[in-house]
């Protein structure tokens, strides 16, 4: 069926020739045809492409490449054969240095358009990228589908829940590929049916693999629709053997950043869990957790702090860049050892504990009680006593804390992708806190919040950090200072 645009400039099914002049925030090439903007997957600035139009909206259309007539200088051959099909890596076909430049410019352009108080391009520091942008993910969720004879295990195709089957992923730790293959064989041998979303039938839904790059510990979570599974002891033995025997391919530069002591010591299965999810939903983990083998947590170490990570706990996915991200938070906080610091949206206390070594006292606030339990255990594990963790919504706790006479010399804000709660921003604007450090995983909500904070705070510096090479994501750390009239 052909869809016609309002101004008749382009129709679905049309084959057009297009010059690409930009990348949008999702890594799609941007071209213009007779005044209409066209977004094209996998196209790069500087390229001329033949495009088949797929969808037509009022102000834009989307298309797919049928032929590249002129190639961009920054185009590279993706390492992964599934690039372009799998939804995990939007820009693997773009040279990594060019990826960093694109992300840096994306952040700068957003700030230019919104203009928060104090912003100019001199405030933007160079993006922190990776020397070796491969095999960096310490956590991965892999969905299953297909049949018991031929289970599919991979990642979702772009903007769909159709699984692109695969054996190797070049951005996750290779341990996860070993686990994927072992679970795939377990499904075949046990004649278990992978879960089917449409019919709500089948057993095995996902696996979640968490790998401690600096500890060598591995947690595996098998997400299933049923609790009673066969041969779990045998599965445990196979996972332990596969994980403990893994070693990187010799002379493979993709592993050049792996810590030498861990490579020599090796990896071990620290725990195997069942997460029972019998809901007809695309939510990954279920409410029930059953420990099949090992301890109730795994350990990871960042900048000298040991962290206990439970199955549901949030922890940064890229351990190498987490070191750089947290070091930037430390640098921007610029503590002298006498300050009282608030860590809002503190999660399991990862930033709080690092700041505690550099401050007089730290209060971490997080609404998820399980995360606060982990944070307190993390403080105990590291013998850190000048930190307090409070289970509360930051937007309700902060006004109460301030009205009760509480003070702070600095506050760290590390919200989820949706950004800060409006009530929290209002409380921060009314508070007399000299320094804010905002850690953001979503530049769009970051600039929105910075504009609102601009009534009381000015931007001093912005540092982008590339936590997810080959994706369209970029994190930022921002220092703001209270405006003194």
pLDDT (tens digit per residue) in 317-337: 999 999 999 999 999 999 999
Domain boundaries, the chain: 15-70, 98-130+318-482, 139-309
pLDDT the model gives residue 29: 97
Catalytic hit among 89, 169, 441, 476 = 441
**End-to-end alpha carbon distance in the chain:** 62
- The whole-number average pLDDT for the span 423-432 is 95
C-alpha to C-alpha distance for 349 and 366, rounded to whole angstroms: 9
- Answer yes or no: is pLDDT of 254 > 70: no
Average pLDDT over residues 395-411: 96
Q: Which fold has domain 15-70?
A: OB fold (Dihydrolipoamide Acetyltransferase, E2P) (2.40.50)
Please enumerate, as own/partner, the contacts of 384-388 that have beta carbons within 8 Å and a separation of 24 or more. Answer: 384/353, 384/356, 384/357, 386/356, 386/359, 386/360, 386/361, 386/362, 387/349, 387/352, 387/353, 387/356, 387/361, 387/362, 387/363, 388/361, 388/362, 388/363, 388/364
Residue of 266, 260, 184, 170 whose CA lies nearest to 218? 266
Q: Read off the tokens for 365.
A: 């606030």
Query: SS3 sequence, 71-117?
Result: CCCCECCCCCCCECCECCCCCCCECHHHHHHHHHHHHHHHHHHHCCC
Q: Do domains 15-70 and 139-309 have the same CATH topology?
A: yes
Q: What is residue 193's predicted lDDT score, i.e. its pLDDT?
A: 94
Q: Name the residue with higher pLDDT: 50 or 259.
A: 50
Q: Which residue has the tokens 């290779």?
A: 174
Instruction: Express as a percent the part of the chain with pLDDT over 70.
Output: 95
Q: Give the contacts of 221 (CB within 8 A, at least 6 positions apart).
A: 207, 208, 209, 210, 272, 273, 274, 275, 285, 311
| 70-115 pLDDT, tens digit each | 999 999 999 998 888 887 899 999 999 999 999 999 999 999 999 9
The predicted structure's pLDDT at residue 484: 86
Stretch 135-152: mean pLDDT: 93
CATH topology of domain 98-130+318-482: Rossmann fold (3.40.50)
Q: Answer yes or no: CATH 2.40.50.1070 is held by domain 139-309.
A: yes
- What's the predicted TM-score (pTM) here? 0.92
**441 is a catalytic site residue:** yes
Binned at pLDDT 50, 70 and 90, residue 259 comes out as low
């Amino acid at each position: 069926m052909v869809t016609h645009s309002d101004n008749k400039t382009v129709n679905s099914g049309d084959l057009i020739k297009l010059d690409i002049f930009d990348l949008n925030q999702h890594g799609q090439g941007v071209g213009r045809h007779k005044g209409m903007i066209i977004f094209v997957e996998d196209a790069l600035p500087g390229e001329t492409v033949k495009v088949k139009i797929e969808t037509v909206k009022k102000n834009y259309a989307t298309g797919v490449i049928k032929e590249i007539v002129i190639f961009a200088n920054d185009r590279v051959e993706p390492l992964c054969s599934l690039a372009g099909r799998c939804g995990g890596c939007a820009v693997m076909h773009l040279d990594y240095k060019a990826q960093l430049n694109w992300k840096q410019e994306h952040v700068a352009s957003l700030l230019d358009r919104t203009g928060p108080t104090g912003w100019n391009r001199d405030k933007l520091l160079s993006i922190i990228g990776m020397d070796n942008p491969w095999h960096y993910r310490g956590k991965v969720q892999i969905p299953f589908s297909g049949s018991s004879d031929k289970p599919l295990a991979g990642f979702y195709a772009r903007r769909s829940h159709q699984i692109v089957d695969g054996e190797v992923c070049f951005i996750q730790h290779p341990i996860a590929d070993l686990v994927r293959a072992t679970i795939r064989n377990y499904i075949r041998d046990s004649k278990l049916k992978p879960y089917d979303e449409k019919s709500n039938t089948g057993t095995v839904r996902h696996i979640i693999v968490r790998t401690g790059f600096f500890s060598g510990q591995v947690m595996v979570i098998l997400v299933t629709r049923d609790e009673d599974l066969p041969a779990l002891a045998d599965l445990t033995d196979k996972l332990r053997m596969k994980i403990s025997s893994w070693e990187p391919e010799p002379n493979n530069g993709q592993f050049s950043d792996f810590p030498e002591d861990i490579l020599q010591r090796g990896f071990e299965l620290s725990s195997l869990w069942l997460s029972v999810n019998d809901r007809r939903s695309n939510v990954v983990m279920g409410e029930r957790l059953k420990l099949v083998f090992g301890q109730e947590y795994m350990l990871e170490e960042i900048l000298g702090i040991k962290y206990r990570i439970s199955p549901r706990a949030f922890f940064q996915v890229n351990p190498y860049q987490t070191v750089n991200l947290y070091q930037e938070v430390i640098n921007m906080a610029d503590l002298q050892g006498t300050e009282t610091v608030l860590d809002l949206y503190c999660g399991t206390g990862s930033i709080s504990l690092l700041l505690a070594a550099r401050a007089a006292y730290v209060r971490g606030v997080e609404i998820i009680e399980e995360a606060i339990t982990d944070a307190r255990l993390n403080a105990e594990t590291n013998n850190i006593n000048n930190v307090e963790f409070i289970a509360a919504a930051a937007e309700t706790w902060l006004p109460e804390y301030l009205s009760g006479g509480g003070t702070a010399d600095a506050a760290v804000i590390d919200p989820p992708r949706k950004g800060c709660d409006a009530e929290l921003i209002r409380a921060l604007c009314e508070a007399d806190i000299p320094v804010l450090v905002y850690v953001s995983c979503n530049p769009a909500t970051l600039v929105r919040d910075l504009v609102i904070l601009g009534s009381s705070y000015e931007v001093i510096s912005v540092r982008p950090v590339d936590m997810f090479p080959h994706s369209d994501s970029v994190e930022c750390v921002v220092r703001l200072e209270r405006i003194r009239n």
